[in-house]
Chain A
């Protein structure tokens, strides 16, 4: 049984560009949450998707947006990249009826130059 998979593993962008990160949840999971983890810090909640809609959002600007597809996979989009967006972006999936039990993928390391 595959765990949470994220792609790509690493990404380098320049300021002002746009980026799309992808996440496939564990089999049987219907909820996807996205987190940003800066170096040396704990993950910070960006938003959560289930039933193809954004249900919860953390303190992140509108430059951060997402989508969930009918197969429960998800994308995170960041527009107008800033140097401060450099971080590890983590996706977590949750099983049916247990949205707070979250299993994380290995993340996408984004570097903005």
Chain B
């Protein structure tokens, strides 16, 4: 079955810097890759997603890139702000509508 690995587990950046979180997946049949932000005491919030027929997608300060050949996808956050501090999860759809999640990255944005 699908396996998703996520790095780093923790990331600390200065406000205004960029943050990059990377994930790899194992199942070449996976075709949908969402990213979620989870704040303390809340459920995961879908922040951006990408499908396998697209290499990059942007939404304001957030972008996601996908390399199907290498089975890598990454989340890029530019001009980070303290409110970006949270746990971020990548996920892959194993083509049966089950989402397989990575282990999460705790992002801390220092003011």
Contact = CB atoms under 8 A, between A and B. Distances in A.
Contacts, number: 59
Nearest to B103: A42
B45 A104 contact: yes
Interface of B: 6, 32, 34, 36, 41-46, 49, 89, 91, 93, 96-104
A73 interface: no
Contacts of A12: none
Given A33-B97, A33-B98, A56-B97, 18 more contacts: A4-B43, A40-B104, A41-B104, A42-B101, A42-B102, A43-B44, A43-B89, A44-B101, A55-B97, A56-B98, A94-B97, A99-B97, A100-B93, A101-B32, A101-B49, A104-B36, A104-B44, A106-B42
Interface of A: 4, 31, 33, 35, 40-45, 48, 55-56, 58, 90, 92, 94, 99-107
A106 B45 CA distance: 9
A10 to B, nearest CB: 11
Contacts of A100: 32, 34, 93, 97, 99
